[in-house]
């Protein structure tokens, strides 16, 4: 694997859900839950990309596809220069070394019977890192200290439940980063942590990714966190990307009503810059039968006739920013008439 770019081409992930019908005959019908519904994107090597959206928007499923915890229904994912299925099938250990994941709940991540030393030593053993036991102990000691768990000896013999959530998430990040992965997927890594430690853990994650040149995909529902850590941001709604671009561009000049709503309802994002408060009612509908129109139409305060009939194409706002909304076409039409 020569570089750590990620290329995603027209990827779908559907799950089958059993439904029930009523009538003379009892029957079951299989419905398709469209968790990821046609995503294409390119993440550059070493870039930190935030993926944002409400729960149920498909962002976690998308992360699992990238680490092969789920298989795509159709489409292609290329990690570095290797197609993901071929890479995983032919070289599973190398794949795991190159592509790592940090999960939301660190207490679910580890075997509760293992000490921190054993957890970290196991990773070094599996991936043949360090030649002798002494060398491995030195790697573990330096690693724990690099994630601010020092003196390291104080943590080595503890078990996961003897650490706080923040301390254990540091171990979780360290376990992934000991492998110097080319790609790291982190799924809501601080959402279960105490507010007081979130910023430190995010900073640490950002520093480790930058130092190692790791391509980081940071999945979160919290726009402030994504804004802090990411070079680029992707906004997902019901399995699709509705807006993407350089973080500052998207967050200071959002074009999609859903992105505008997320920003305007975020409590602390540049309050003085807020121009309009956008209220969006209700929860996202179930991603089963989304219809032909814009998926956001049932909740969008700007929805008009065309919105329920045709899904809007992705429009270029600038070289580094795009969004999919029919309102953007109208703006273009207005501009043409003026000219
Ligand atoms: Fe709203 Fe229509 Fe734009 Fe969809 S296409 S976000 S419904 S205005």
| Residue range 220-232, pLDDT digits in tens | 998 989 999 999 9
Of 294, 313, 314, 323, the residue with max ligand 1 atoms within 8 A of its CB, to mutate for a pocket test, comes to 294
Q: At what angle do helices 133-146 and 116-126 cross, to 10 degrees?
A: 120
Cα 264 to middle of ligand 1, angstroms? 17
Residue 298: partners with Cβ closer than 8 Å, 6 or more residues away:
282, 285
Cα 257 to middle of ligand 1, angstroms? 7
| pLDDT at residue 283 is higher than 80 | no
Q: How far, in Å, CA of 64 to CA of 326, rounded? A: 31
Cα 77 to middle of ligand 1, angstroms? 29
Cα 10 to middle of ligand 1, angstroms? 22
Supply the DSSP symbol for 273.
G
Q: Is the CB of 27 under 6 A from ligand 1?
A: no
Q: How far, in Å, CA of 149 to CA of 169, rounded? A: 11
pLDDT of residue 256: 96
Of 307, 308, 323, the residue with max ligand 1 atoms within 8 A of its CB, to mutate for a pocket test, comes to 307
Of 278, 293, 302, 329, the residue with max ligand 1 atoms within 8 A of its CB, to mutate for a pocket test, comes to 302
Q: Is the CB of 287 under 6 A from ligand 1?
A: no
Local confidence band at 272 (pLDDT 50, 70, 90 cut-offs): very low
Local confidence band at 219 (pLDDT 50, 70, 90 cut-offs): very high
Q: Is the CB of 297 under 6 A from ligand 1?
A: yes
Ligand 1 atom with the shortest distance to the CA of 297: 7
- The model's pTM is 0.89
- Contact predicate 228/251, CB 8 Å: no
Q: Is the CB of 4 under 6 A from ligand 1?
A: no
Ligand 1 atom with the shortest distance to the CA of 256: 6
Residue 136: partners with Cβ closer than 8 Å, 6 or more residues away:
121, 124, 125, 129, 130
Q: Is the CB of 302 under 6 A from ligand 1?
A: yes
Ligand 1 atom with the shortest distance to the CA of 307: 2
Cα torsion angle, 163, 166, 171, 176, sign: positive
CA 224 to chain centre: 14
Local confidence band at 267 (pLDDT 50, 70, 90 cut-offs): low
| pLDDT at residue 282 is higher than 90 | no
Of 300, 309, 315, 331, the residue with max ligand 1 atoms within 8 A of its CB, to mutate for a pocket test, comes to 300
Of 308, 325, 329, the residue with max ligand 1 atoms within 8 A of its CB, to mutate for a pocket test, comes to 325
3-state class (DSSP) for residue 210: helix
Q: What is the mean predicted confidence (pLDDT) over 256-263?
A: 93
Beta strands 183-187 and 215-220 are parallel
pLDDT of residue 237: 96
pLDDT of residue 142: 96
Phi-psi region of 233 (alpha: psi -120 to 50; beta: other; left: phi over 0): beta
| pLDDT at residue 68 is higher than 90 | yes
Q: How far, in Å, CA of 236 to CA of 308, rounded? A: 19
Q: Is the CB of 295 under 6 A from ligand 1?
A: no
Q: What is the mean predicted confidence (pLDDT) over 120-143?
A: 96
Q: Is the CB of 294 under 6 A from ligand 1?
A: yes
The residue behind tokens 């273009």 is: 332
Higher pLDDT, 195 or 306: 306
Cα 314 to middle of ligand 1, angstroms? 12
Q: Which of 334, 314, 319, 333 is nearest to 255 (CA)?
A: 314
Local confidence band at 285 (pLDDT 50, 70, 90 cut-offs): confident
Residue 160: partners with Cβ closer than 8 Å, 6 or more residues away:
106, 107, 110, 112, 114, 116, 119, 168, 171
Q: Is the CB of 296 under 6 A from ligand 1?
A: yes
Residue 75: partners with Cβ closer than 8 Å, 6 or more residues away:
8, 9, 10, 11, 12, 38, 39
pLDDT of residue 25: 45
Model confidence over 289-309: pLDDT tens digits?
Answer: 888 899 999 999 999 989 999
């Amino acid at each position: 694997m020569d570089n750590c770019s990620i290329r995603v081409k027209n990827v779908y992930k559907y799950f089958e859900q059993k439904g029930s019908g009523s009538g003379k005959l009892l029957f079951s019908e299989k419905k398709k839950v469209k968790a990821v519904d046609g995503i294409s994107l390119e993440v550059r090597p070493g870039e930190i990309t935030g993926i944002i959206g409400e729960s149920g928007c498909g962002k976690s499923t998308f992360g699992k596809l990238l680490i092969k915890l789920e298989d795509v229904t159709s489409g292609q994912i290329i990690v570095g220069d290797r197609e993901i299925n071929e890479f995983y099938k032919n070289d599973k250990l190398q794949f795991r070394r190159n592509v790592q994941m940090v999960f939301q709940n660190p207490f679910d991540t580890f075997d509760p019977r293992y000490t921190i030393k054993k957890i970290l030593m196991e990773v070094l053993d599996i991936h043949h890192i360090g030649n002798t036991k002494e060398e491995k102990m030195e790697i573990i000691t330096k690693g724990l200290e690099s994630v601010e768990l020092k003196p390291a000896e104080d943590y080595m013999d503890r078990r996961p439940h003897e650490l706080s959530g923040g301390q254990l998430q540091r171990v979780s990040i360290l376990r992934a980063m000991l492998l110097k992965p080319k790609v790291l997927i982190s799924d809501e890594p601080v959402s279960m942590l105490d507010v007081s430690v979130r910023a430190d853990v995010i900073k640490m994650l950002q520093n480790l990714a930058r130092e190692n040149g790791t391509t980081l995909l940071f999945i979160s529902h919290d726009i402030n966190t994504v804004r802090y850590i990411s070079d680029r941001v992707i906004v997902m709604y019901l399995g699709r990307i509705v807006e993407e671009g350089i973080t500052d561009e998207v967050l200071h000049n959002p074009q999609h009503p859903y992105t505008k709503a997320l920003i305007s309802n975020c409590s602390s994002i540049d309050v003085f810059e807020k121009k309009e408060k956008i209220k969006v009612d209700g929860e996202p509908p179930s991603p089963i039968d989304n219809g032909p129109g814009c998926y956001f139409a049932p909740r969008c305060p700007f929805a008009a006739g065309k919105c329920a009939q045709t899904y809007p194409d992705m429009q270029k706002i600038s070289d580094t920013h795009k969004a999919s909304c029919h309102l953007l076409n109208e703006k273009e039409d207005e501009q043409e008439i003026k000219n």
